[in-house]
Amino acid sequence: MDPRRAAHWPEYAMEALALGLFMVSAGAVGVALEAPGSPLRAAVPGDGPRRALAGLAMGLTAIALIYSPFGRRSGAHINPAVTLAFLALGKLRPRDAAGYAAAQLAGGLAGVALVAALAGPAFVDPPVRWVVTAPGPRGPALAFAAELAISFAQMAIVLVASNTPRLAPWTGVLAGAGVATWIALEAPLSGMSMNPARTLASALPAGVFDHLWLYLVAPPLGMLAAAAAWRSLRGARAFGCAKLQHDLAVRCIFCGHEPHAAASVPAPEVA
């Protein structure tokens, strides 16, 4: 059976698991580095060094998820803005895009709920405050511009790396390095979301909705702009598949590859 016509709920579940684990890691890192009384907070004075450590931890988390068995199976979007960009390139069906986005949000909410249950006030109270993303002291306009810029850059990294043969195996590493860099350098401007589901997963249980629109609009716009730039420069056919790592040992619901098929990975047009 063509995997593009089979039930795709396993891939949806893997996307939910991936963002859930990402939020568990984000919550644990937030508590370890920022909660009052944390030994690590006391050992690492200064916001800058702690942001660098947080960026390293979350970048490594992203890399681990992308190269994990479930990341290789689902494609490791872990972000509805990434899914939307692939949809704009014609590399997945609208129903799969909707399934991915719903699963990502559900997984993110579950991950946040788990951290809240385990860490309690250390996670839900300030300064960690459910690891909510919020504009920095320079205001929402700059936060919007920063989210737009890093989202464009992140999607551009994925598109260029995954479609350059010598870089393709390193796409996950480069994407994780992007996450680490944006947290270390951009977080003071917007809190570094780049992911509407990640922001909603914190905002909904926290009841913090100030400037929420910013995180729902800027990341998709930035990633759609990167997809449009790619289409303009290279054409949609120049993009192979909507996976960050295409493992020939697992099926692909996007291009139709099955493990027992030929080793080559076709990229037919999505109907």
Overall average pLDDT of the 242-249 stretch: 90
Q: What is the pLDDT of residues 156-177, one digit of tens each?
A: 999 999 989 999 999 999 999 9
207 pLDDT exceeds 60? yes
- In 10 A of CB 271, how many CB atoms? 6
Say which residue the tokens 């260029």 belong to. 160
Token pair 């660098």: residue: 52
Residue 144 lies in a domain: yes
Q: What is the per-residue pLDDT for 239? A: 66
Residue 240: the pLDDT is: 76
User: Residues near 145 by Cβ (< 8 Å), separated by ≥ 6?
Assistant: none
Residue (of 106, 102, 110) closest to 8 by Cα position: 102
Query: What sign results for the dihedral spanned by CA atoms 178, 179, 180, 184?
Result: positive
User: What CATH number does residue 214 fall under?
Assistant: 1.20.1080.10
246 or 192, which is more confident?
192
1 within a domain of the structure (yes/no): no
Q: Tens digit of pLDDT for each residue in 37-84?
A: 999 999 998 999 999 999 999 999 999 999 999 999 999 999 999 999
Residue 134 CB coordination number (10 Å)? 19
Q: With respect to residue 126, please indicate whether it lies within any of the assigned structural domains.
A: yes
Q: Which two tokens stand for residue 32?
A: 């370890």
pTM exceeds cut of 0.95: no
Structure-token pair, residue 199: 């922001």
* 161 domain-assigned: yes
Average pLDDT, the chain: 92
> How far is 198 from 182, CA to CA, in rounded Å?
15
In a domain, 64, yes or no: yes
Residue 116 lies inside a defined structural domain of this protein: yes
Total of domains in the chain:
1
Structural domain that includes position 142: 9-238
Residue 132, in any domain of the structure: yes
In a domain, 262, yes or no: no
pLDDT at 4 over 90: no
